[in-house]
Structure 1
Amino acid sequence: MRDKKNITGIILAGGASSRMGTDKGFLKLNNKLFIQHIIDAVKPLVSRIIIVSNLKKYDAFGIERITDDIENAGPLAGIYSGLKASKTEYNLVLSCDVPLIKKRILQQLIDASEDTIDIVQIESQGQHMPLIAVYKKSCASMFHKLLLNDERRLHKAVSACNTKSIILNTEDDIYTTNVNTPEQFKNLTQCL
């Protein structure tokens, strides 16, 4: 088991939320903001949390916020910025649109991390989820090179790394539900 002092939490909250029409981090589920759900799941597992967002309203959470080094370049740039700012070898990276995520699922990622593996990501319902993953800080230099070459696709960056996937039990798939549209949000609130 990795010591939390060697792990930083990186929460990506810089997306345009164009399909949702509003900032996803500030949507409410069970009277709690999405971003707060993520913070609460990550906090017990890490020594420091960084929110990657250009929006100053995230300062209200009292957590260090950094801006994207390369703007408008999607989640790859957000992860790069977070890894660059991190001081730890291991980094628990999450997008702000998975409000049901549980600490025990994140702990599985941490427990599965190895010295020879660059990225440990969740696999749920047959989908790889690089926005619920542990990244080594060493990924930052390669991600930076890709971004400088105008590569924005996260799956391209992940496939260039030594990656391992943790397959969730079917009953845990709900916890990785990603909310991108008003319809997905409505469906989530109705099934809870």
Structure 2
Amino acid sequence: MSVAGLVLAGGRSTRMGSDKAMIILGDRTLLARAVARLEPQVDELSVSSNLLQVEAAGVPVIADATPSFEGPLAGIQAGLQWAQSRGHSALASVAVDSPFFPETLVRQLRKGDPARIQVARSIGRVHPVFALWPVTALEPLSNFLVRAETRKVMTFLDEFGFDGVDFPTEAFDPFFNVNTPDDLAEAERISRLIGS
């Protein structure tokens, strides 16, 4: 299985008041951290964003194929189109605002049925954008975006079918995400704790 990687960095970040991808945690942006964490796990990497106008950390930036579709599903759709065009059989997606996602994420997700979407789960909670998507999901996803009244990732996952893959939490939830200044302070604490 050839796996492409996609960092979802297209959110408006209204609660942070600035482009979340460019927020500094320690000595690096959240985007640089996500790229560095995902790149060793995949065969090729890109960033999904309608905001970043230049290459991000040397990685190509992919805009949504259909700008009217807002949210992560539009980014995943564009990522699947890109992955398919590059000859990959699957796409691993991560969110830019979760700086501590597992370094074994893709390896663990690859253990599941390659015909189904494999989705990360911790403490019984599903993290729908941390997933391994077969490129065969592209057509059903595109159809869903055209006809659906909602663009919620979980709604599509429930319709297409997915398997949850559990990850340990130990000292903290590796899928902790930065949405507010308080979250950023907590991320700084975790970063110091793990020396990352």
TM-score, length-scaled by structure 2: 0.87
Change (3 A) 1:62 1:13: same
Q: Which deviates the most, 56-65 or 140-149?
A: 56-65
Residue pairs, 1:25-64, within 5 angstroms: 25-64=21-60
Partner of 2:109: 109
In the TM superposition, residue 140 of structure 1 has moved relative to its aligned partner by 1.3
Runs ≥4 residues deviating over 3 A: none
1:91-170 alignment runs, 5 A limit:
91-110=91-110, 112-116=111-115, 118-150=116-148, 151-170=150-169
Mapped contact 1:125–1:173 kept (Cα < 8 A): no
| CA apart distance, 1:48 | 1.1
Q: Deviations over 1:19-72 (max 9, x none)?
A: 221111111222111111111111112121111111235514221111111225
Which SS does the other structure have where 2:55 is aligned?
helix
Q: Which structure: greater helix fraction?
A: 1
Q: Aligned AA for 2:90? A: Y
1:128 partner SS: strand
Contact 1:124–1:173 (Cα < 8 Å) also in 2: no
Question: How far does residue 12 in structure 1 lie from its aligned partner after superposition?
Answer: 0.8
How many residues align? The count is 186
Shift of 1:136: 0.7
Q: Does structure 1 retain, via aligned residues, the 8 Å contact 2:89–2:134?
A: yes
DSSP 3-state at the match of 1:138: helix
Asked if the contact 2:42/2:106 (under 8 Å) is kept, the reply is no
TM-score, normalisation: structure 1: 0.88
Is 1:16–2:15 an aligned residue pair?
no
Instruction: Name the structure 2 match of 1:76.
Output: 73
Letter of the structure 1 residue corresponding to residue 134 of structure 2: K
Identical residues among aligned pairs (%):
25
Which structure 2 segments of 5+ residues have no match?
none
Conserved in 1, the CA contact under 8 Å of 2:98 and 2:178? Answer: yes
- Aligned mates of 1:162, 1:14 — CA distance in 2: 25
State the distance in 1 between where 2:10 and 2:66 align: 12
Over aligned residue pairs, what C-alpha RMSD do you find? 1.8
Q: Which ranges in structure 1 are unaligned for 5 or more consecutive residues?
A: none
Cα distance in 2 for residues equivalent to 1:33 and 1:57: 16
